Amino acid sequence: MTSRTPPIRILIASAYAPAALFETGLGAITPVVPLLAVRLGGGLGEGALIVALLGVGLILGDVPAGALASRIGDRRAMLLAALVAAVALAGCALAPSLPLLALGVLVVGAVSAVFHLARQSFLTDVIPVAQRARALSTLGGVGRIGAFLGPFLGAGLLHLAPLRSVFWLAAAVSLLAGAVVALAPDVDRSGAVPRTAPGTGPGAWTLLRRHGRMFATLGLAVVLVGAVRATRQVVLPLWSEHLGLAPATTSLIFGLSGAVDVLLFYPGGRLMDRRGRLWVAVPSMLVLGGAIALLPLTGSVGTLAIAAMVMGFGNGISSGVLMTLGADVAPPEARATFLGVWRVFQDTGSAAGPLVVSAVGALAGLAAGIVTMGVAGLVGAAALARWVPRWSEHANARTRAEAARRRLAG
């Protein structure tokens, strides 16, 4: 971590612009993957399964991503990920069968883990800790903007070209993201903590054992936060369908929620830097979990739209909170490898949330599945309040003061 913030133009070229581009490509293909699966002879179930492989690939790629970034560096890892993603997306565009499409989607998910982790590790390395939260919140925010715009870009292309063209678009955008990284000026890291030599730092299993108590406590909170945040993407369209609303109305409500979401990432990050992580982490989960738990009480377009915007608020202010907490607790000498393990917890939660809604919904009804995840959000808020001060010195003003006293005493 350096003592001075690099110029914003370098941060844009090195992290923010590539993040927005890469996520735009992923956002463009996500609604198209199940459609191509059906065209290749699969059913709706197979289509949903292949979409889920993006998340599976992400989880499978997290730990290798940390090892790769630690070995070859953040910049080279991003370049390699962008290139492999472009090749995998081209493979999806040319896939003649479901198994080959599934393989391509799985690879895209795995290399996106490399891209995500390398950006996070880079910003953690070059941004002073006093500005860390707003930098990582901005990273999460521009990624959400890309994911928000991607489907619209893909929809526009589909008016002019066949279905597979969206994958070619995503491949081109991925190459463009890599080109931006390649052309970005180098960042002065003279004040950063030196990296260990390649292959000499602790591995993922060593870090997992060494920090076992933290992963068993704060890691559980991370899983809950990831699950609740991913649930929002599922419960809104499902409950809208349950109410019998038209697809166009559902899309509009979802868009309203997304618009509120992308407007709030910077204020949330700034508040975390000024007041501490708990000032955003706990309220965001209380708001998001409470809104999800109360969603089954909505019965009209108006009440559903209000609930959707409240969810967008809770999700928006929490942009970057998990990346920030991971950066706070990561050992500087093994940061990239540690963050790879950290992201396994985060991404496992994201994959588990919709599955819990589906499982509980199948047993007790959709409303019960939704309420279950709403309660999980409230439990997550309690877990964050309990464990963030234990492990992060930036939890609030008190923990920062205690850490400063320890440094003076030592």
> DSSP 3-state assignment of 239?
helix
Question: What digits encode the pLDDT tens for the residues 186-218?
Answer: 776 555 555 554 455 788 899 999 999 999 999
pTM, two decimal places: 0.89
What is the domain partition of the chain in residue ranges? Answer: 1-184, 202-410
Cα 112–Cα 381–Cα 313 angle in degrees, nearest 5:
65
Question: What digits encode the pLDDT tens for the residues 326-349?
Answer: 999 999 888 999 999 999 999 999
Q: Which is more confidently placed, 31 or 119?
A: 119
CATH assignment of 202-410? Answer: 1.20.1250.20
Mean pLDDT of the chain: 89
Homologous superfamily in CATH for domain 1-184: MFS general substrate transporter like domains (1.20.1250.20)
In angstroms, rounded to a whole number, what is the distance separating the alpha carbons of residues 27 and 239? 22
Q: Judge whether 58 and 109 are in contact, CB under 8 Å.
A: yes
Confidence of residue 161 (pLDDT cuts 50, 70, 90): confident
Cα 265–Cα 269–Cα 273 angle in degrees, nearest 5:
170
Q: Judge whether 87 and 290 are in contact, CB under 8 Å.
A: no
Helices (H), ranges, 131-264? 132-158, 165-183, 204-210, 212-242, 247-263
For the ranges 47-61, 187-201, 364-378, the maximum mean pLDDT occurs at: 364-378
Q: How many CA atoms lie within 13 A of 337 on its CB side?
A: 24
In terms of phi and psi (left: phi > 0; alpha: psi -120 to 50; beta: otherwise), the region of 197 is: beta
Q: For residues 335-351, b (16+ Cβ closer than 10 Å) or e, as one string?
A: bbbbbbbbbbbbbbbbb
Query: Do the domains spanning 1-184 and 202-410 agree at the CATH topology level?
Result: yes
Q: Which is more confidently placed, 33 or 311?
A: 311
Q: Which is more confidently placed, 274 or 38?
A: 274
In angstroms, rounded to a whole number, what is the distance separating the alpha carbons of residues 281 and 390? 14
